[in-house]
Amino acid sequence: MKIVRYVSIRPDAAWLNGVPVPVESKGLALLTDLYRLHVKDYPKFFKMDLLSKLGVVATELLVEDEPGRFDPREDRAVLLFSRTGPLCNDRNYQHTIAEGEYFPSPALFVYTLANIVTGEIAIRNKYAGDTTAYELSSFSPEHFVAAVRAAFDDRITTSAICGWAEAPDPDHFEAFMMLVQQDAPDGLPFCEETLRQINPNLR
Amino acid sequence: MEELIKNLKLQIIEALNLEGMTPDQIDDNAPLFGDGLGLDSIDVLELIVLMEKNYGIRLTSPAEGKQVFQSVAVMADYIAKNRKK
Amino acid sequence: MSKPRVIALSGNIVSPLGLTARENFLAVVEGRSGVAPHRETFGIPEPFAASLFDRKAVFSEAASQGVSGYNLFETILILSIRDAVQRAGIDPASSRVAFVISSIKGNVEALSEEEERVPVSVSADRVAAFFGQPNPPLVVSNACISGLTALIHARRMLLCGQCDQVVVAGAEVQSRFIVSGFQSLKALSPEPCKPFDAARKGLNLGEAAATMILSRTDAVAAGQWELVDGATRNDANHISGPSRTGEGSYNALRYVLPACTVEELAFVNVHGTSTPYNDEMESIALNRAGLSQVPVNALKGVFGHTMGAAGILESLVSMQAVDAGVVPGTMGFEELGVSCPVNVSRENRPTDKRAFIKLLSGFGGCNAAMLFRKGGAR
């Protein structure tokens, strides 16, 4: 298993394969900028919660140059890990069910499910394979690698968009995601050591 | 009526996160669903909330909603006749 | 060397209908339901029907077992896991054991109060710590299919040799947050649900915890339950509406079907939420997979939709049903109301078969199927 490409997005910057991705804004506006520069025409983006926006934009950076990228495929999984999942949107939804101002929002409620981000990535990119949202109380490269390896024990899966996506509020978010392939000629070995090398936060 | 239609368009744009869209860009008589604004099933439900929150009108089912949400003009007409606030 | 296989060592269900898998199975065959009408519960203006715990009774039962200081979500998980672990006779504190926990919203209830909401991952840590488990528990939060995805993942961990046994436990606690959300989606029925029925109006929510202890083995003995194969697949279509062609559900079924014959299936225990779209979609997926003749049943009329617990709970009931030679009836069903033929019945039916498929679908477009088979002569 090889890491073919990897991406990091934080409120102040984004990197693809360790190289800064040109973007001027900060915070939530950084995600919107990346959307305008890379995703371009997908108005549904503006209906998404913070976690889904982060996941969709990060995936775009990973696969935008891939040949045949919008061909429907069942062999690609989406396996995302988080500590708090959609917590930010939980608060937004909570405001719509307050005493005295009770108008529950269906659009906000849907995004309170932790796996909607994996579904949005699957819909955008036509991935009909395994999609799973996992949660760990802290990002452990060891347990992340083990879980992804176990998920690859699927007769159809040959590659996966996987990684860590954490978005507790619009000023604090982090995506560390990668495209992992079963039989890639080039790339970095998919293991704990590589993850520590390519993500300084893990050292 | 003109005022109601303009406000309604602003409320729809906000409720459905129609980024970059202005009231002038929504035709009063164009269908809201299907080819029109490309709205989907969750948008129908969100419009049901909009009707209750802003006009005190309770629509019980998405099917009933779709009748009312044919276009902004149909919606405004329904609101004018049924509004409770 | 023979290929490793995965079996279930034991199971538990904690629901408003009982504190063991056996008590809950008896409720199913005897036609008892936990679903009751609710008015003003959680301060929600519109009435709804749901299967909810008597909270005081749960906490006092837990206290009598020496479990206190945990929220409701953690408490039912601990009660369920403890019973299953004792029955399996495994050491939950072993480093060769792993914990996989499934839930959609954990104790989201706390968001409305001043106390900090505990993420599911943190609740899972507390529960694992109660049992002295040294490895960080892995949480699976895959909407309504969470429990089945947890079983699928745990099975793969065992096949990869990452551990020797896995405690797979799922739980869901209902709240103003979840009930109002499903109401806003117009997905709830104010009356007891009617899976696959022409007059179905929506689902009922339910509370429960369920645990299955899995183990790796080289050979499946007579009477042991094997988790033969399973997969999760996405519709890649819409985040809240199921595919009109049952795409992901069909693909999940197609993944597990080569490992069995249609003739050996006692039944398919479907999702059967009783929403107009879900049951229709499942009828299409079953038809496409060539399963229209196989008996089908749904348990939502008994337990409601127990969300993160459903995949484990409904699999455990199905295992006991096959053990007892019964295809459980589908409570609430009267007249078929889906476009493709489905072999569903309100009454319990006899069976002498030894395998079943568990099927689930959920928001985010995800679907899962798992094939279970009992060892021994067929």
The tens digit of pLDDT for each residue in A118-156 reads 999 999 999 999 999 999 999 999 999 999 999 999 999
Q: Which amino acid is at C115?
A: E
Higher pLDDT, A23 or B38: A23
What is the nearest CA distance from B10 to chain C, expressed in angstroms? Answer: 22
CA distance C191 to C204: 8
Chain C residues in contact with A94 (beta carbon < 8 A): 111-112, 177
Chain B residues in contact with C240 (beta carbon < 8 A): 41-42
The class that CATH gives domain C5-217 is alpha beta
pLDDT for res B63:
85
By percentage, how much of chain A surpasses pLDDT 90? 97
Contact in structure between C371 and C256 (CB atoms under 8 Å): yes
CB contact under 8 A, A46 and B52: no
Inform me whether the C-beta atom of residue B65 falls under 8 Å from chain A C-beta atoms.
no
Place of tokens 């452990």: A140
pLDDT for res A42:
94
CA distance A103 to B52: 8
A105: confidence class by pLDDT, cuts 50, 70, 90? very high
Q: Which domain holds residue B19?
A: 2-82
Tell whether ipTM is more than 0.95: yes
What does the longest C-alpha to C-alpha distance in chain A come to? 60
pLDDT for res C72:
95
Per-residue model confidence as pLDDT tens digits over C296-346: 999 999 999 999 999 999 999 999 999 999 999 999 999 999 999 999 999
Task: Write the Ramachandran bin of C274: left for phi over 0, alpha for psi from -120 to 50, otherwise beta.
Answer: left
Inform me whether the C-beta atom of residue C110 falls under 8 Å from chain A C-beta atoms.
no
pLDDT for res B60:
84
pLDDT for res B64:
86
Residue to test with chain B: of A28, A45, A47, A48, most B Cβ within 10 A: A47
**Same fold flag, C5-217 and C225-374:** yes
- In A, residues 45-64, which contact B (CB 8 Å cutoff)? 45-47
Could you tell me the fold of the domain covering C225-374? Answer: Peroxisomal Thiolase; Chain A, domain 1 (3.40.47)
pTM of the predicted model, to two decimals? 0.97
Residue whose C-alpha is closest to residue C73's, from C47, C50, C97, C101: C101
Per-residue model confidence as pLDDT tens digits over A107-116: 999 999 999 9
Query: Which residues have a Cβ under 8 Å from the Cβ of C235 and sit 6 or more positions away?
Result: A122, A128, C242, C243, C247, C248, C249, C365, C366, C367
DSSP C162: S
What is the nearest CA distance from A107 to chain B, expressed in angstroms? Answer: 6
CATH number of residue A127's parent domain: 3.40.47.10
Contact in structure between A196 and A202 (CB atoms under 8 Å): yes
What does pLDDT average to over chain A? 96
Chain C residues in contact with B49 (beta carbon < 8 A): 184
CA distance C230 to C166: 16
Mean of the pLDDT values across residues A2-27? 96
Report the residue from C186, C238, C239 with minimal CB separation from B62. Answer: C186
**Residue stretches of chain C with pLDDT short of 70:** 1, 111-116, 377-378
Q: How many Cβ atoms sit within 10 Å of the Cβ of residue A201?
A: 11
End-to-end CA gap in chain B: 15
Instruction: Please name the residue of chain C whose CA is at the shortest distance from the CA of residue A77.
Output: C233
Chain C residues in contact with B40 (beta carbon < 8 A): 238, 241
Q: Cα separations (Å) of C252 from B25, B73, C154, C231, C248? A: 43, 45, 17, 6, 6
Q: How many Cβ atoms sit within 10 Å of the Cβ of residue B2?
A: 8
- CA C71, distance to chain mean position in Å, is 21
Question: What is the full per-residue pLDDT of chain B (85 aa) written as tens digits?
Answer: 889 999 999 999 999 999 889 999 999 998 888 777 778 889 999 999 999 999 999 998 888 888 899 999 999 999 999 999 8
Our count of domains for chain B comes to 1
CATH number of residue B56's parent domain: 1.10.1200.10
- In B, residues 43-62, which contact C (CB 8 Å cutoff)? 45, 48-49, 61-62
CA distance A30 to A45: 14
Query: Which residues have a Cβ under 8 Å from the Cβ of C113 and sit 6 or more positions away?
Result: none
**CB-side neighbour CA atoms (13 Å) of C286:** 33
Task: Write the Ramachandran bin of A138: left for phi over 0, alpha for psi from -120 to 50, otherwise beta.
Answer: beta
List chain C domain ranges: 5-217, 225-374
